[in-house]
């Protein structure tokens, strides 16, 4: 499936990784490849595997399994990968409830976990671990950016909603942390919900001047279509998870003009990102999403550590991961002491480019942003 890619390989620090250490690293990727959230996991997988291919590193192997968005299956797969497959590193989980079910046990067994997505507050604070690194964001981050944007835009009475699971709670917490206005309503929906008629009726009657929502994957598609059809014209604001490439193509013109916040966008102007976007589209026939960029960066981080240290020396390998000596699609990238990114959060607007709906950066919501849970983390 993978085509030969030449130009971007020269940009990747990973070419060096293929020659520096001979010790092989086996990666276990547990991600969502079926059901309503499959697009997210597919993008993480494809971004990760693109980086591995471009590196030319023969010392890395990847075992990929579908968690079906079920915590029990994710735990079972992790046990199999650790006990039977003998993986060195785990990655891939999209959903925070699955991450909370898998990560503590994996790192307790001495395995490294590199998160390409889920960043629950529990794993940034008291539940942090020296072997856990989040390469994407801490869950609150993008909603903190949305709250900062809403404050700057003059919104004063937001209606907020998210699914009732750890990431949903973190997202609303993050928005409220930086948004100074009142709340017209706060609602937790069912994870995987498809019918939002009741919530849209509440929004209509609430007197809100803005709506902040976090509904990733198929949930976001359902909500956006129903919201557009309802005739409610209260401005929407959200984190990028409800406005990724997969959702936008399904929602279409109803999303045009909506502002959303992200640590990544296809138009971030640096050589690594430009080459990533071009090569991903060439490889897979579609534009990358933030999930794909996160998978790509996660693989690049891992391979950069492989270029500095043997996985057999856990302390040295951990230090190599913490150094984050790779070229990120985001540009500047480094870790906090609790192993989460320090990065800019951008405001994007949904636009149409030919027949494709996508995002473009219109401003920066937060610069060099970390997370608020560092003081709770005792490694």
Other residues' Cβ atoms within 10 Å of the Cβ of residue 356: 12
Burial (CB count within 10 angstroms: exposed 0-12, middle 13-18, buried 19+), residue 301 = buried
Question: Where do runs of H (alpha helix) occur along the chain?
Answer: 14-20, 38-55, 71-80, 96-108, 121-124, 140-153, 166-178, 197-206, 218-230, 245-251, 271-284, 290-306, 314-323
Backbone torsions φ then ψ of 296, nearest 5 degrees: -60, -50
pLDDT tens-digit profile, the chain (379 residues): 444 344 444 444 444 444 444 589 999 999 999 998 899 999 999 999 999 999 999 999 999 999 999 999 999 999 999 999 999 999 999 999 999 999 999 999 999 999 999 999 999 999 999 999 999 999 999 999 999 999 999 999 999 999 999 999 999 999 999 999 999 999 999 999 999 999 999 999 999 999 999 998 889 999 999 999 999 999 999 999 989 888 898 889 989 999 999 999 999 999 999 999 999 999 999 999 999 999 999 999 999 999 999 999 999 999 999 999 999 999 989 999 999 999 999 999 999 999 999 999 999 999 999 999 999 999 8
Q: Which fold, 140-262+345-376? A: Rossmann fold (3.40.50)
For the chain, what are the domain ranges? 8-137+267-335, 140-262+345-376
Question: By C-alpha distance, which of 323, 338, 360 is closest to 140?
Answer: 338
DSSP string, 206-228: HT-SEEEE---THHHHHHHHHHH
Alpha-carbon gap, residue 37 to 94, rounded angstroms? 9
pLDDT tens digits, 130-170: 999 999 999 999 999 999 999 999 999 999 999 999 999 99
Q: Tell me if the pTM is above 0.85.
A: yes
8-137+267-335 and 140-262+345-376 share one CATH topology? Answer: yes
Alpha-carbon gap, residue 237 to 245, rounded angstroms? 17
356 Cβ contact partners less than 8 Å away, ≥ 6 residues apart: 249, 287
Say what the pLDDT of residue 70 is: 96
3 Cβ contact partners less than 8 Å away, ≥ 6 residues apart: 282, 283
Say what the pLDDT of residue 8 is: 46
**CATH number at 8-137+267-335:** 3.40.50.2300
Say what the pLDDT of residue 247 is: 85
Say what the pLDDT of residue 1 is: 46
Question: By C-alpha distance, which of 102, 89, 30, 91 is closest to 60?
Answer: 89
65 Cβ contact partners less than 8 Å away, ≥ 6 residues apart: 28, 29, 30, 31, 77, 80, 81
**By the 8 A CB rule, do 88 and 68 touch?**
no
Say what the pLDDT of residue 91 is: 98
Burial (CB count within 10 angstroms: exposed 0-12, middle 13-18, buried 19+), residue 150 = buried
pLDDT tens digits, 170-182: 999 999 999 999 9
Other residues' Cβ atoms within 10 Å of the Cβ of residue 26: 16
**By the 8 A CB rule, do 103 and 79 touch?**
no
Question: To which residue do tokens 């971030």 refer?
Answer: 268
Beta bridge partners of 200: none
Alpha-carbon gap, residue 2 to 256, rounded angstroms? 33
Measured at the CA of 330, the angle between CA 328 and CA 335, to 5 degrees, comes to: 70
Burial (CB count within 10 angstroms: exposed 0-12, middle 13-18, buried 19+), residue 86 = exposed
Say what the pLDDT of residue 22 is: 58
């Amino acid at each position: 499936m993978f085509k030969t890619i030449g130009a971007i390989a020269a940009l990747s620090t990973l070419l060096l990784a293929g020659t520096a250490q001979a010790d092989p690293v086996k990666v276990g990727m547990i991600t969502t490849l079926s059901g309503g959230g499959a697009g997210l996991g597919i993008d993480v997988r494809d971004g990760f595997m693109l980086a591995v291919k471009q590196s030319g590193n023969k010392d890395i192997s990847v075992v990929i399994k579908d968690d079906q968005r079920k915590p029990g299956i994710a735990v079972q797969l992790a046990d199999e990968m650790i006990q039977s497959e003998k993986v060195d590193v785990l990655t891939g989980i999209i959903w925070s409830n699955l991450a909370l079910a898998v990560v503590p046990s994996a790192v307790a067994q001495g395995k490294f976990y590199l998160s390409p997505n889920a960043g629950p507050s529990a794993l940034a604070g008291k539940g942090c671990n020296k072997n856990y690194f989040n390469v994407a964001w801490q869950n609150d981050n993008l909603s903190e950016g949305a709250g900062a944007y809403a404050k700057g835009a003059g919104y004063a009475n937001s209606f907020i909603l998210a699914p009732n699971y750890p990431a949903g709670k973190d997202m609303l917490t993050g928005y409220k942390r930086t948004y100074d206005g009142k709340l017209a309503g706060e609602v937790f929906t069912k994870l995987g919900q498809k019918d939002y008629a009741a919530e849209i009726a509440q929004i209509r009657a609430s007197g809100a001047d803005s709506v902040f929502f976090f509904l990733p994957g198929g949930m976001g598609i359902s909500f956006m279509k129903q919201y557009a059809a309802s005739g409610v014209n209260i401005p929407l604001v959200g984190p990028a998870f409800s406005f990724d490439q997969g959702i936008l193509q399904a929602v279409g013109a109803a999303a045009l003009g909506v502002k959303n916040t992200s640590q990544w966008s296809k138009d971030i102007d640096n050589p690594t990102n430009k080459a990533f976007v071009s090569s991903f589209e060439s490889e897979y026939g579609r534009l990358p999403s933030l999930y794909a960029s996160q998978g790509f960066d996660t693989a690049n981080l891992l391979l950069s550590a492989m270029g500095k240290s043997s996985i057999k020396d856990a302390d040295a390998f951990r230090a190599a991961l913490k150094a984050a000596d790779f070229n990120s699609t985001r540009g500047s990238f480094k870790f906090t002491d609790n192993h989460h990114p320090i990065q800019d959060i951008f405001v994007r607007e949904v636009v149409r480019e030919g027949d494709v709906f996508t995002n473009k950066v219109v401003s920066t919501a937060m610069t060099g942003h970390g997370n608020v849970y560092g003081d709770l983390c005792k490694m």
